[in-house]
Amino acid sequence: MIGARVEKLFQKFCASGNSRKILSRSLICMLSLAVFEFVLAWVVLANTNLPNSFDPLLAVGKFFPTEHSDSAGSKTLVTEHGQIQVSALGRLEPSGEIARVSVPAFLKDERVEVVRVKQGDWVKEGQILCTLDAQKRLRASLAEANTEVVVWMAKRERIRAGAKRGEIDAQKAAITNLEYELQNKIDAQNALISKVTNELEFNEIEAARYLTLHKQGAVSASQYDGKITALRVSKAILEEALSERRRLHQTLTAQIIESKATLSKIAEVRDVDLSVATAELEEAQAKFNKVKTDLDLASIRAPYSGRILKMNVRAGETVTDKGVADLASTNRMLVVAEVHQSDVSKVKVGQSATIFSDSIKKTLSGTVESIGWQVQKQRTFAQDPSSSSDARIVEVKIAVSSNDRHYVENLSNMQVEVSIRCHDHPANITSSVKS
């Protein structure tokens, strides 16, 4: 303040010819102003118990309202009542930010079948926003997977229960029949062998007798040859009967052994068979659960309760990178104010604030809820083209009062101006510090 007056006096001094006179008067004026401001500050200090962090600008500002601004649009004002206010640009946001509801990656190329909500609707957590065409294909896959589960469940239960009693009894009966057949056929073959053996013995005696008679000339040679032929036939029949008995015994015995093995297999419940059936059933159930989950994901649901700010698809369209809808919990609104890094030290959680915008019918009230932990580049800019676009700011979140929420719940991302009341009159600051 004093520097500005000195600069004006110096310019006046340089433009005047009577320099010595002007210089004397200027020095007197400058000293008078300095003494006056010092006295005023002293009066305030003498009548107020202030903390060590007292800002002299606040005391002087009680009588001379001053203003400090920076390139980011953030501005500090000391009012005539001794209040320090920080004003800044900001933007409206829902408390939980805006969520872009989309589809799983494996359903990205699917078309939207039915849209069940519209812009502005309030939806509850889990409510269906739209369904995809993939549901038809997934329903068919689910039915197929369910059939496979049922089949393997039946197979496992059959293995676990073992063979039916009727199957076991039938197999036992088959074994008994084979044993009976073997015995009967062997007995019949033994009878045949006994008969052929007797005939062979008779033919041997006859052949020997006819040999003697032939030597004596009592029988002809042809008669003797007939007996020899009969003897050879008997021997051939006996050999064939013996061979057939061996064949019957081997064949029927093998059939009996095989039938007994089948009986053991039927009656036995093997752990390995049960384990294989159980593994197949679990695989079928896993496939069923996956298809069921995919079918459920084909119905796009709201991740939480909130308002539909924008629908990004219509029925028949493919979902793009914009997702299905923009969703936000607008029952609690915030202003993200961009306070310049040089002013953020004046801002504290719990301080009151006012919110302005040409698009809002009234001035809104709010409370500082949180102060950012990071200095960032400015994102919100004033309409003044001369303002800097590379200012460093800290984001301060201000909760809009519940009474004013309905004025802005449909204005997410709108630019606003905020004024944060940082300090009260010095006396109020003192009482706050003592408490």
| Domain co-membership, 312 together with 350 | no
The rounded mean pLDDT for the chain is 79
Residue 50's pLDDT is: 46
Indicate if the pLDDT at residue 52 is higher than 60.
no
Question: To which residue do tokens 């809808």 refer?
Answer: 325
Strand ordering across the sheet containing 306-311:
99-101, 325-328, 306-311, 122-123
Q: The CATH number of the domain where 126 resides is what?
A: 2.40.50.100
CA atoms within 13 A on the CB side of 138: 20
Residue 285's pLDDT is: 94
Domain assignment present for 176:
yes
And the tokens for 323?
A: 């997702």
Residue 301's pLDDT is: 92
Of the ranges 108-112, 388-392, 422-426, which one carries the lowest mean pLDDT score?
422-426
Residue 241's pLDDT is: 87
Residue 85's pLDDT is: 87
Distance between CA atoms of 365 and 195, rounded to whole angstroms? 128
Residues forming beta bridges with residue 203, ordered by sequence position: none
Q: The CATH number of the domain where 355 resides is what?
A: 2.40.30.170
| Domain co-membership, 344 together with 395 | yes
Average pLDDT of span 360-374: 89
Average pLDDT of span 305-325: 89
> When comparing pLDDT for 329 and 386, which is higher?
329
Structural domain of residue 210, as residue ranges? 163-268
Residue 17's pLDDT is: 52
| Domain co-membership, 243 together with 168 | yes
Domain assignment present for 9:
yes
DSSP summary character for residue 330:
T
DSSP summary character for residue 318:
B
| Domain co-membership, 119 together with 88 | no
| Domain co-membership, 132 together with 178 | no
Q: The CATH number of the domain where 220 resides is what?
A: 1.10.287
| Domain co-membership, 345 together with 410 | yes
Domain assignment present for 283:
no
CA atoms within 13 A on the CB side of 205: 5
Residue 56's pLDDT is: 46
| Domain co-membership, 369 together with 384 | yes
Indicate if the pLDDT at residue 120 is higher than 90.
no
Indicate if the pLDDT at residue 66 is higher than 60.
no
The pTM of this model reads 0.50
And the tokens for 344?
A: 């953020």
Domain assignment present for 253:
yes
> When comparing pLDDT for 17 and 179, which is higher?
179
Indicate if the pLDDT at residue 332 is higher than 90.
no
Confidence category of residue 419, pLDDT binned at 50, 70, 90: very high
CA dist 362 to 308, 328, 358, 422, 424, Å?
25, 24, 9, 22, 24
And the tokens for 243?
A: 């061979």
Residue 434's pLDDT is: 30
